[in-house]
Structure 1
Amino acid sequence: MRYRFYLLSVFVFILDHLTKWLINSLMDLTRYIDVIPGYARISYVRNSGVAFGLFADFQSQWKPYVLAGMAVVAVIVILIYSARMPSDRTLLQAALAVTLGGILGNFTDRVVHGYVVDFIELHIQDTFHWPTFNIADSAITIGIAMLLLDTIRNPESHRQQKEMA
């Protein structure tokens, strides 16, 4: 059953990098494509921060190392937690796998390029703009939401996990 965990993580990772490669290959930083005019567009952004552009303006020589270190710690925690988790907890395993694939996708970008490629831009006309994001950011967000759902559905199981740790 664990192989499904790794396959899902690899699928998210490949999908993330395939879409980033397409954006990198087909677009430049000044161009955008309206998908749903006034609401959604594809644009090419180089994000030196974390998900949704957080900390992008924070300048420090240590920022790349801190962000990479946080990703490494998160990957280790997810792998350990997944290994200890019963394989019949499919929602939890899927949540961890999707999150892992997203973390690895952005981590690889950050190590290779020094930034993460973001390209999905949601907005409501000119009144509201959600920060530009990518497949990895979406996977991390969806994985965390699934984790919260699993915690709500199985609170006793999570208490037992804490006691075992």
Structure 2
Amino acid sequence: MSLKKASLLIILILIIDQVSKFYIKTNFALGDEIRVFDWFRILFVENEGMAWGAKIPGEYGKIILTSFRLVAIVGIAYWLWDSVRKNSATELIVAVSLIFAGAFGNIIDSVFYGEIFSHSYNQIAAFLPEEGGYGTLMHGKVVDMLYFPLWSGYLPEWIPFWGGDYFTFFEPVFNVADSAITIGVLLLIIFNKKAFSHEKEEEKKEAVGN
């Protein structure tokens, strides 16, 4: 797979991700929900930190997290470029492209959204508000909206620790960028042997040469 095709895939995912986030941010207030089906809803939430809502505490926690993401995206970009250069398996290049696109999509939120949007508490956010955004550069929140509560109910009493508790599966709210990262990681797991076969052959050749 060529770098041009990988780039087109990344651009497509970024467009879908950012258009969906822009629409949600400028048409929903925080907590607004559209029930598409019982098991699928559009629910607007914002994530200040990492996956599952985890975040680094402290005044500089957000800057540290965003900086880490920026460093990571450079590493992923090199991985993609190197995979294309080595003519690696298509599965590997597609997977890395998906991971790169997803990571980059969420970085855009983290870096810029605090500057370009007003807050969404009890109101619909304004794009490029005259009074300034809800945060500063590097302090944006990631927009999430895809919610799949496939099952909700009380767990049987015999289940250890959680027995009798109300439980929802699947509870996390995510976005297109998160989906791209998840699919990319799953591709690496499912097609592990095929994805990394080229690298293993190169290692064998180097070992024989030495």
Residue 151 of structure 1 contacts residue 158 of structure 1 at CA under 8 Å; is this kept in 2?
A: no
Could you say which residue in structure 2 is the equivalent of 1:138? Answer: 179
Structure 2 residue aligned with 1:73, among 53, 71, 79?
Answer: 71
Deviations 1:121-164 (A, max 9, x none): 12123531421100011111111111223323355434467798
The 3 A distance-change label for structure 1 pair 142 and 154 is closer
Distance 1:71 1:162 in 2: 30
The 3 A distance-change label for structure 1 pair 35 and 26 is same
Stretch of structure 1 that moved more, 120-129 or 150-159: 150-159
Stretch of structure 1 that moved more, 15-24 or 76-85: 76-85
Could you say which residue in structure 2 is the equivalent of 1:122? Answer: 148
Residue 88 of structure 2 contacts residue 196 of structure 2 at CA under 8 Å; is this kept in 1?
A: no
Matched, 1:149 2:190: yes
- Give the aligned residue type for 1:13: L
Could you say which residue in structure 1 is the equivalent of 2:32? Answer: 31
Could you say which residue in structure 1 is the equivalent of 2:18? Answer: 17
CA displacement at 1:73 relative to structure 2:
2.3
Gaps of 5+ in 2: 115-139, 154-166
Stretch of structure 1 that moved more, 14-23 or 43-52: 43-52
The 3 A distance-change label for structure 1 pair 28 and 13 is same
Distance 2:203 2:97 in 1: 20
CA displacement at 1:62 relative to structure 2:
2.2
Residue 2 of structure 1 contacts residue 87 of structure 1 at CA under 8 Å; is this kept in 2?
A: no
- Give the aligned residue type for 2:13: V
Alignment length, in residue pairs?
161
Residue 89 of structure 2 contacts residue 198 of structure 2 at CA under 8 Å; is this kept in 1?
A: no
What SS class does the counterpart of residue 29 from structure 1 fall into? coil
- Aligned-residue sequence identity (percent) comes to 27
Residue 98 of structure 2 contacts residue 183 of structure 2 at CA under 8 Å; is this kept in 1?
A: yes
Q: Give the TM-score, by structure 1 length.
A: 0.86
Residue 6 of structure 2 contacts residue 94 of structure 2 at CA under 8 Å; is this kept in 1?
A: yes
Could you say which residue in structure 2 is the equivalent of 1:49? Answer: 49
Distance 1:105 1:137 in 2: 9
What SS class does the counterpart of residue 125 from structure 1 fall into? strand
Could you say which residue in structure 2 is the equivalent of 1:84? Answer: 82
CA RMSD, Structure 1 to Structure 2 (Å): 2.2
What SS class does the counterpart of residue 4 from structure 1 fall into? helix
The 3 A distance-change label for structure 1 pair 6 and 110 is same
- Give the aligned residue type for 1:101: A
- Give the aligned residue type for 1:68: T
What SS class does the counterpart of residue 28 from structure 1 fall into? coil
CA displacement at 1:90 relative to structure 2:
1.2
- Give the aligned residue type for 1:125: S
Distance 2:181 2:77 in 1: 15
